[in-house]
Amino acid sequence: MRFAVDVPNFGRWADPKAFADFARRVEEAGWDGISVWDHILVEDGLEVADPWILLAAAAMVTDRVRLMTMVTPIPRRHPWKLARETVTLDLLSAGRLTLGVGLGWPTDPEFTRFGGEEDLRVRAEMLDEGLEILAGLWSGEPFGFEGRHYRLQPVTFRPTPHQQPRIPVWVAATWPRRAPVRRAARWDGIAPSFLAIESGEYRDPTPADVRDLLDEVHRHRDADAPFDVVLSGDSRRASGFEGTGVTWWRDGWVPWSGIEHDDWLAGVLEGPPRA
């Protein structure tokens, strides 16, 4: 199992110099990756940074850690612009980018305030089309697309990513909803949240949950390539998931968690559990 640190792209993390310094310290502490949220507006007046600038700054001061977005909502981006951003960062980091994707949440204000698509089912269609476009443009071969939501005349994008055959893609999903899991099975990994059916509230997963999730993944996965399962939470819980198929654990600071930021940061800089 590998370990990553996860932070928002707003508030104190909106300063790219501070984020880059933090990424350097995370690498020195022995973590394997750093992931950043992808928001554009959280609330009026709150400082928010572009995640691609943050990760580019981190790439310049690190050599080893993987750089991730968790997650990028493709339905509020132009996939062709995202293709340029991801390839550029993958080249800058010598192949250390992992692209996490999802529908985008919350709908308000990040879609409502900008005239974006509010229907989650439509956003799911846009996500699928957007991923197909990304893979086509990353190929470096002539590629055109005619979908319900995106149309692209044949075009050839160069350069290609450092990573081949393409940049790894992890897909956010809420278990036990099946459609997002089927989507993730077509790509390289899944970053699941777990929903309690009775209450409709999110809950901590169990090893049995992960095994059930992977059973569903394997029912819909044709590729033999490795597949990542990415859990999040206090990394001290990670040892309970050894042998379940979990490959990454993200230890993140959430502004509304009730955990003091400085307390969390001090623990992070001591390194991941195995260090």
Q: 116-170, pLDDT tens digit by residue?
A: 999 999 999 999 999 999 999 999 999 999 999 999 999 999 999 999 999 999 9
91-125 burial, b at 16+ Cβ within 10 Å, e below that, comes to bbbeebbbbbbbbbeeeeebbeeeebbeeeeebbb
Quote the tokens at residue 203.
Answer: 């809950």
Give the Cα separation of 48 and 46 in Å (integer): 6
Paired sense of beta strands 169-175 and 248-252, if any: unpaired
Q: Which of 171, 10, 41, 35 is nearest to 103 (CA)?
A: 171
| 38 contacts 51 by C-beta, under 8 angstroms | yes
pLDDT tens column, 76-131: 999 999 999 999 999 999 999 999 999 999 999 999 999 999 999 999 999 999 99
How far apart, in whole angstroms, are the C-alpha atoms of residue 42 and residue 114? Answer: 13
CA atoms 228, 229, 231, 235: torsion sign = negative
Output the CA angle 133-98-165, nearest 5 degrees.
55
